[in-house]
Structure 1
Amino acid sequence: MREKLRVAAYAVCVRDGQVLLARSPDDDGIPEWVLPGGGMEHGEDPYDTVRRELMEETGYRIEVTGLLGIDSFRCHFAAEGPLRLPTDHHGVRIIYTAEIVGGELRNEIGGSTDMAAWQDLDAVPALRRVPLIDIALRLWRERPAAGRFAEERS
């Protein structure tokens, strides 16, 4: 089984009761809302990753204002196609808070997302979204000192 580690950085940007989200197609091509951010490049600092990814996906320049926490998850993927191996995937997601300091809202062209928009915080539960949004917004609301929730500790 192939082992794969992916480290990514994301930002929760909230202003005037709205959160900044991006939209990306899921594995079946159906659009779902995601938290702006993405994978680190080799040698890149996570702080630089989140700033780069936010600019790419939303058009905004941000100032990172805090570290909310780290979310870690693991899942297994079956082999697909003749040359693919089963994969043990481990994702580590660094979640920051950030403020917009420049740029203009725009949609990404030729990337992993197709739209960026401010969504009312109250409307988020009704959106088709990835679970990371709920994790990040809970971290933003509760601000656990350890950067994770008590029920996750072993």
Structure 2
Amino acid sequence: MQIVGVEVPGGNPALSTLLGHGQDPYQLAWEEGYRVLRPLSATGMVDDLTVTLLVMPHRRPITPRGPQRTRTTLRKDEPVVDPVVRQRLAAYAIVVSDRGVLATEFSDRTAVPGMWGLPGGGIDPGENPAATVQREVFEETGQDIEVVRFLDLQSDHWIGHSPTGVVEDFHAVRLIYAAHCHHPADPVVHDVGGTTSGSRWVPVDALRDVDWINGSRALLGKHAKAVLHGWRTR
């Protein structure tokens, strides 16, 4: 995935670099001399995806830190094996409607069964991230949505078991969108047997009561207020 930084929207690139395995895009921009103000856009298909960030020079001393710290979900008594190196580009959304915020429950095929996250998943070959969000939301919740705007970019790096049991050195790169659901229905999981076991609408006043995974909780804390405001003032 290509990371491009511009100092004004539509301006010439101030930085342009590939996101390597395990690298965090915000850290990468910092080490190029820029602070990320906000993501602007994600264009292209999964094989030639470009994410453009609004940046400004930070003029601070730079100490390269290398790839993100790699955590592990493996048990200490497991045999040591060489993990399969994998970078996965995925797209997710904060989906809002008059019924609240859409949430999906992780199945026992994941490392966090019973916890809740935002709907979304891996970008398929020949697919752009916004189309991924629409497809994944329908597969996981049965809702038809309108993708409104690109919100954020997340990166996470760990060693652990994939849903198929393979030990992977896994770099998750997540593109986050805001989306509206104009005709919310009772959620239903169509993709049965996958990593999603359930889905539901969470009322706005109950968001803090949900057992969210850390990444989703952080995204909601950062963006939910603005996304809900956009829905109410549409």
Alignment TM-score, normalising by the size of structure 2: 0.52
Instruction: Give, in angstroms, the shift of residue 17 of structure 1.
Output: 7.3
Which residue does the alignment assign to 1:48?
A: 131
Unaligned runs of 5+ in 1: 144-154
More strand by share: 1
For residues 75 and 30 of structure 1, do their structure 2 counterparts lie closer, same or farther at Cα, with a shift above 3 Å needed?
closer
Q: Counterpart in 2 of 1:14?
A: 96
Call closer, same or farther: CA 1:89–1:30 in 2, change over 3 Å: closer
Q: 2:94–2:224: 8 Å Cα contact kept in structure 1?
A: no
- The 3-state SS of whatever aligns with 1:50 is helix
How many residues are aligned here? 139
Does the alignment pair 1:92 with 2:170? no
- CA deviation map 1:102-139 (0-9, x unaligned): 57333114143232211123323332222222122133
| Aligned 8 A contact 1:5 1:91 in 2 | yes
Higher mean C-alpha deviation, range 58-67 or range 26-35: 26-35
CA separation of 1:46 and 1:28: change in aligned 2, threshold 3 A: closer
Q: Distance in 1 between matches of 2:87 and 2:206?
A: 33
| Greater mean alpha carbon deviation, residues 95-104 or residues 5-14 | 95-104
| Amino acid corresponding to residue 170 of structure 2 in structure 1 | H
- Asked whether the equivalents of residues 8 and 39 of structure 1 are also in contact (C-alpha less than 8 Å), the reply is yes
Deviation, 1:33, is 1.3
Q: Deviations over 1:45-79 (max 9, x none)?
A: 1111000001111111111111111101111237x
Q: 2:198 aligns with which of 115, 134, 137?
A: 115
Q: Is the 8 A contact 1:68 1:139 kept in 2?
A: no
Greater Cα radius of gyration, structure 1 or 2: 2
**Quick one: percent identity of the two aligned structures?**
33
Secondary structure of 2:140 counterpart: helix
Instruction: Return closer, same or farther for 1:28/1:131 CA change in 2, 3 Å cut-off.
Output: closer
CA distance in 2, matches of 1:64, 1:29: 27
RMSD: 2.7
CA contact (8 A) 1:54 1:60 kept: yes
